[in-house]
Amino acid sequence: MDVSNQRINSIHESEGTNRGLTVFGLKVMALVTMFIDHVGAIIIPCIQSHVTSPQLFAMLEGLMTVMRLIGRISFPIFAFLIVNGFYHTRNRKKYVLRLGIFALISEPFFDLASSSSWMNFSHQNVFFTLCLGLVTIWGYDSLIKQQKSPVIGGLLVLFTSIVAFCLGTDYDAYGILMIFIMYLFFFNRQKMCLMVILLNGLIYGPYLFSSFIDQAFVEAYYGLTLTGGWKVYLQIMLYLQSIAQLFCVVALWPISKYRGEKGSDRINKYFFYAFYPVHLFILGMVSWIIG
């Protein structure tokens, strides 16, 4: 039996209780938090553009900020599910192909929702990141099994991270590194959580200590004239937005509760793939209608 399969079975034996989350539960959580995030990112700004009251605008900004913070939970769960799928799928080639196909299908709807255009090459959807991440860990895993130097594997990770960055995929190089770290420490959840926290601390931690946003900047940024209390409120919202990605570590709690089981089969797996382009299309059309 393959060593990785033995380790998977060992994890399932230790985690396979009635308590905890299944793959199905993690997928639902990732979709719900992603949807909340996208409503905040796409719909709320459209509503704000029609608001004349500075106070109402500020309240909507607060709502958007909370929704974006909730949305930070989704990507680490998707990254974990990619690694989990890598170890459990029957056919890795089909898995990569499926992600690639949905990346291409989703792109026009992603562009519509994010830029009100059917074609925008400056920013690509998250399926591209997930697909590149899967290719990365598959390639690295194959190199290690062939007893190649870890340096070669490291160069592969560097290369795919650069590709993600140059293509402008959602989460770009950071997303590739997140998936790779979860692959490296998949069999030790404690270390995996610590390394994910370290990754986020190194990249986004410095923003915690950035100087507090000046009130004059707040007024210029939003084009609003506000009283002192509302200025401070928007200062806090802008600060939270600047450190938002750090909130992704909240996702480590449900990930740590994964019990190694697939869960319910009541919903076809393609529903979870199709949800992404469909919800982007709906949100893109709603934002177009709102204007």
Helices 23-38 & 74-88 angle (0-180, nearest 10)? 150
Please state the φ and ψ torsions of residue 161, each to the nearest 5 degrees. Answer: -65, -40
C-alpha span between 178 and 186 (Å, rounded): 12
**pLDDT of 211 higher than 80:** no
Mean pLDDT of the chain: 89
C-alpha span between 2 and 24 (Å, rounded): 26
C-alpha span between 79 and 30 (Å, rounded): 10
**pLDDT of 44 higher than 90:** yes
Predicted pLDDT of residue 147: 81
Please tell me the pTM assigned to this model.
0.90
Predicted pLDDT of residue 216: 67
DSSP at 211: P
DSSP sequence for 135-151: HHHHHHHHHHHTT--HH
C-alpha span between 264 and 5 (Å, rounded): 23
DSSP sequence for 230-291: HHHHHHHHHHHHHTGGGGGGGGHHHHHTB-S-----SS-HHHHHHHHHHHHHHHHHHHHHH-
Residues 122-159 pLDDT 10s: 999 999 999 999 999 999 999 988 887 889 999 999 99
Tell me which residue has tokens 């034996």: 13
Predicted pLDDT of residue 209: 83
Tell me which residue has tokens 């990605």: 245
C-alpha span between 236 and 36 (Å, rounded): 21
Q: Which residue has the higher pLDDT, 162 or 215?
A: 162
pLDDT bucket at 43, cuts 50 / 70 / 90 = very high
pLDDT bucket at 116, cuts 50 / 70 / 90 = confident
**pLDDT of 41 higher than 60:** yes
Q: Which residue has the higher pLDDT, 213 or 32?
A: 32
- CA angle, 252 then 255 then 260, to 5°: 160
**pLDDT of 21 higher than 70:** yes
pLDDT bucket at 47, cuts 50 / 70 / 90 = very high
Nearest partner of 86 among 18, 149, 4, 158, judged by Cα: 4
Residues 60-96 pLDDT 10s: 999 999 999 999 999 999 999 999 999 999 999 999 9
